[in-house]
C-alpha cells in the first residue's frame, strides 16, 4: 500500500484497517498543509427528514482518522504488514483514537501522532544527560586543578639597577692621588700566610718560628 501524494482519511468517525500480506505500507509524501474540502454529510431519519452537517475543516495527507467537529467519535487505525515495513513517510500518520502497528520494521515513527494508546511504535530512549554533564564537570574540574595558580605581580622578583654618578666633593689633590697609588701598590704585594702549613722561602717575610725550623744549611742560603 503506497499512497504517494494521495491519502486515506476519515473525517466523521470510523477507523482504518490496512493489511499488506507480502508488501509494505507507506503513508506517502503528500503535503501537510493541503486543505481538504469534504462534501457536507447528509443524515436521513426514519421519517425521511434530512439533516446536513457542516463542513469539517481538515488538512494534510497520509493516513489519518480525524474528529474535527465536536461529538465525532475518535477513530482507530490498525496497520499490519507481517513481512514488510510500515513507513510513516513525510505525510505522517494521525490517529484520533488508538493505533496498532505490526511489521518487521517501522520507519519515521516520530511522524506518528496518537491521541489514544499506541501499540507497536518503537520508542527511542533518551540519552542520560545527567551522567554526561557529571562527567564533563569532573573533567573540567580536573583540568582546572592541573593549571598553575596565577602569580600576582607583587610576588615576582624585582631587579633594581643603580648607577653612581658621584660621591660629592671636588677634584682630589695631587698628594691624595699619590697616597692612594702607594696604598694600592702595597695591597698588590704578595705576602706569606703565617698560619699556612706550607711556607715558601722568598715569598714574603718569614716569622721567627718558621726560621727556627730551617736547617743550618737552609739558613745560610736564605741569608745569601
3-state class (DSSP) for residue 205? coil
Assess if residue 82 is contained within a domain.
Answer: yes
150-164 per-position pLDDT tens digit = 655 566 666 777 777
Count of the separate structural domains present in the chain: 1
User: Which pTM was predicted?
Assistant: 0.50
Please tell me the predicted confidence (pLDDT) of residue 160. Answer: 78
What is the predicted pLDDT for the residue at 83?
92
Q: Which domain holds residue 94?
A: 7-34+59-118
22-36, 93-107, 182-196: lowest mean pLDDT where? 182-196
Query: For the chain, how many residues are written?
Result: 224
Indicate whether 209 belongs to any domain: no
- For 25-50, letters b (16+ CB in 10 Å) and e give bbbbebeeeeebeeeeeeeeeeeeee
> pLDDT value at position 64?
92
Residue 114 belongs to a domain: yes
Q: Which residues pair with 39 in a beta bridge?
A: none
What pLDDT, in 10s, does the model give residues 105-160?
Answer: 999 999 999 999 999 888 766 666 766 667 676 676 666 655 566 655 566 666 77
Higher pLDDT, 6 or 218: 6
Indicate if the alpha-carbon torsion angle 16, 20, 25, 27 is positive or negative.
Answer: negative
Amino acid at each position: 500500500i503506497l499512497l504517494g501524494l494521495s491519502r486515506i482519511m476519515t473525517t466523521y468517525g470510523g477507523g482504518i484497517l490496512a493489511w499488506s500480506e507480502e508488501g509494505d505500507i507507506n503513508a506517502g509524501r503528500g503535503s501537510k498543509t493541503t486543505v481538504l474540502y469534504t462534501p457536507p454529510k447528509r443524515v436521513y431519519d426514519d421519517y425521511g427528514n434530512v439533516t446536513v452537517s457542516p463542513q469539517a475543516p481538515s488538512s494534510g495527507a497520509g493516513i489519518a482518522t480525524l474528529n474535527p467537529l465536536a461529538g465525532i467519535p475518535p477513530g482507530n487505525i490498525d496497520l499490519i504488514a507481517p513481512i514488510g515495513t510500515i513507513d510513516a513517510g513525510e505525510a505522517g500518520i494521525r490517529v484520533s483514537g488508538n493505533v496498532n502497528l505490526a511489521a518487521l520494521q517501522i520507519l519515521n515513527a516520530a511522524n506518528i501522532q496518537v491521541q489514544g494508546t499506541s501499540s507497536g511504535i518503537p520508542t527511542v530512549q533518551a540519552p542520560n544527560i545527567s551522567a554526561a554533564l557529571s562527567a564533563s564537570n569532573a573533567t573540567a574540574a580536573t583540568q582546572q586543578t592541573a593549571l598553575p595558580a596565577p602569580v600576582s605581580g607583587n610576588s615576582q622578583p624585582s631587579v633594581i639597577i643603580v648607577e653612581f654618578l658621584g660621591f660629592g666633593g671636588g677634584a682630589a689633590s695631587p698628594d691624595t692621588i699619590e697616597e692612594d697609588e702607594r696604598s694600592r701598590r702595597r695591597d698588590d704585594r704578595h705576602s706569606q700566610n703565617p698560619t699556612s702549613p706550607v711556607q715558601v722561602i722568598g715569598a714574603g717575610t718569614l716569622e721567627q718560628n718558621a726560621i727556627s725550623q730551617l736547617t743550618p744549611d737552609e739558613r745560610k742560603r736564605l741569608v745569601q
